[in-house]
C-alpha cells in the first residue's frame, strides 16, 4: 500500500524557534509537495519539488524553506516560527506532476 509519512502528528513550538517538518514517501515518486490547510482558506501550496535537489516556490513561500536531499524525503523548514504559521501542514507526492496526489496524514503545528 502506498504511503506518505509525516514525522509528527501534533507539534507545539515557541515563537522564534526553528521547526523541521519531515515527510517520507515509499512510492519512488519524483514529485513532492508541501501544503498548509486553514479553515475557510483551503489548501495552499508552500513549496514543491519535481526532482532531488530541485525546489520551486508555491503560492505562500514566505517564512518557509525546503530541503530535498533524497528522492523519498522532503523537509519543510520554518526558519523562525511565528504565530501565523499555526496550521495543518500536509505533505503529498505524485507520480505525474499534479495528477493524483497522495497525501500524508498531516502535522498540526501550534506556535505559541
Minimum CB–partner distance for residue 16 and another protein (Å):
28
- Name the minimum Å distance from CB 95 to another protein: 12
Distance CA 46, CA 56 (A): 9
In whole angstroms, the minimum distance from the beta carbon of 111 to another protein comes to: 20
Residues 41-80: x where in contact with another protein by CB under 8 A, - otherwise, as a string = xxxxx--x-------x-xx---------------------
Strand 107-111 and strand 10-13: the pairing is parallel
Our finding on whether 102 is near another protein (CB under 8 A) is yes
Contact assessment for residue 93 and residue 33, using Cβ atoms and an 8 Å cutoff: yes
User: Which residues make up the interface to another protein (CB under 8 A)?
Assistant: 4, 40-45, 48, 56, 58-59, 90, 92, 97-106
Amino acid at each position: 500500500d502506498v504511503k506518505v509519512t509525516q514525522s509528527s502528528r501534533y507539534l507545539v513550538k515557541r515563537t522564534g524557534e526553528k521547526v523541521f517538518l519531515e515527510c517520507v514517501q515509499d512510492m519512488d515518486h519524483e514529485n513532492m509537495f508541501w501544503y498548509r490547510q486553514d479553515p475557510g482558506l483551503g489548501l495552499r501550496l508552500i513549496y514543491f519539488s519535481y526532482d532531488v535537489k530541485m525546489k520551486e516556490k508555491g503560492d505562500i513561500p514566505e517564512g518557509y524553506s525546503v530541503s530535498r536531499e533524497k528522492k523519498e524525503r522532503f523537509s519543510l523548514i520554518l526558519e523562525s516560527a511565528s504565530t501565523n504559521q499555526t496550521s495543518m501542514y500536509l505533505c503529498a507526492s505524485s507520480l505525474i506532476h499534479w495528477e493524483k496526489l497522495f497525501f500524508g496524514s498531516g502535522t498540526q503545528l501550534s506556535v505559541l
